[in-house]
Amino acid sequence: MNPWVWVLAAYGCAALVVGGYAVWIWRRLREARATEEVEG
């Protein structure tokens, strides 16, 4: 198998894991800010 498959799989994992976590944080931050604005 082409080595780049494994290499890109590893980088893909990194992007998914770290990116997923970052997105999760931002989404929850946005929710928190939205509820704040609603509650005033």
Partner 1 sequence: MLRAFLGGATAALLALGLVLALWLSPPDAYQGEYVRIMYVHVPSALAAYVAAAVACVAGALYLWRRQARYDHLAQAGAELVVVFSGLTLLSGMLWGRPVWGVWWAWDARLVTTAVLFLLYVGCVLVRGLSDDPERGRSLAAVVGVVGFLDVPIVHYSVVWFRTLHQPPSIGPGGVAIAPPLLLPLVVNALAYLALLGYLLVERARLAQVEASR
For partner 1, the binding residue among 23, 34, 36, 40 (CB under 8 A) is: 36
The encoded tokens of residue 7 equal 């290499």
- Cα separations (Å) of 35 from 16, 21, 24? 28, 21, 17
Query: Rule CB under 8 A: is residue 35 a binding residue for partner 1?
Result: yes
Query: Rule CB under 8 A: is residue 14 a binding residue for partner 1?
Result: yes
Rounded Cα gap, residues 37 and 40, in angstroms:
5
The encoded tokens of residue 11 equal 């980088």
Cβ of residue 2: shortest distance to partner 1, in angstroms? 9
Query: Rule CB under 8 A: is residue 34 a binding residue for partner 1?
Result: no
Cβ of residue 17: shortest distance to partner 1, in angstroms? 5
